[in-house]
Amino acid sequence: MGSGAVDLDLPDQGELLARAAGGIGGERVTALVWDEVQRVRRPGGELLVGDLKEYKKPRNGPLFVLAGMLGMEAMRVGAWAQASRSVGRFSRKRAYNDVSALCHAEGLRVAVLHSLREYPDRGEVIPVLRATLSTTADEDMVRILLPEALRKWKR
């Protein structure tokens, strides 16, 4: 099976953020947050933490929260790549660094596909990846940070 045929079914942090915004402020806030997410989304649909480096303060609104979410996602996918290796300590550390850096620069899908090249039987590691990325930590982070970010947002 080629890497293009792999059904990863990875979460979209932009969608999660917009849904959470709707729970906080209704449809109008959902639309505002969705427009902000779409503004920074790459033409191929990727959201890159590397593109959000300038959004470091709550006054940056939803993009401040999105940057945090994507940073956590890069750390989790790096940890997944590291834990999935059955090789020496230095090789595992390199896997973490390589996959995290790819996630920052090129997006989650590219980082995951890069890591999956190492596995002849992908069926074993993809469910672990999905479980690693599908945590309530992002939802909790959004619930805590988004209301303040929306209040301080300088549009």
First to last CA, the chain: 46
Is the pLDDT at 90 greater than 70, yes or no? Answer: no
* pLDDT score for 132: 81
H helix intervals, 1-155: 13-40, 62-83, 89-106, 108-116, 126-133, 137-152
d(CA 55, CA 95) in angstroms, rounded, equals: 27
Among the ranges given (8-22, 44-58, 120-134), the one the predictor scored with the smallest mean pLDDT = 120-134
The pTM for the full model equals: 0.85
Compute CA distances 38 → 10, 49, 113, 124, 141, whole Å. 18, 14, 24, 33, 20
